[in-house]
Amino acid sequence: MQGIAERAADRVEGLSASDYLEESIMEPGAHLVEGYDDVMPRVIGRTISQEELEELVAFLLTQ
């Protein structure tokens, strides 16, 4: 996960790193990286609270 914040900032034009990470957690298939399959479980987006999501994104931005 090292460097995830930096990569997230450049992944999709018009999305901040924070927005990209949040969308990727809530809708894992929204932005697939070429060469990777859509295998991320969607259960997180259905079970995580808004506060937990914000805390997770904040943590990922430190990586």
Alpha carbons 21 and 30: distance in angstroms, whole number: 11
Helices (H), 1-63: 4-11, 17-26, 43-47, 50-60
pLDDT above 90 (res 16):
yes
Q: Are 60 and 21 in contact, with CB atoms under 8 Å apart?
A: yes
Report pLDDT for 53.
95
Band of the pLDDT at 62, cuts 50, 70, 90? very high
Look up the pTM and report it.
Answer: 0.87
Q: Locate the domains of the chain by residue range.
A: 4-60
| Closest residue by Cα to residue 8 from 34, 38, 31, 41 | 31
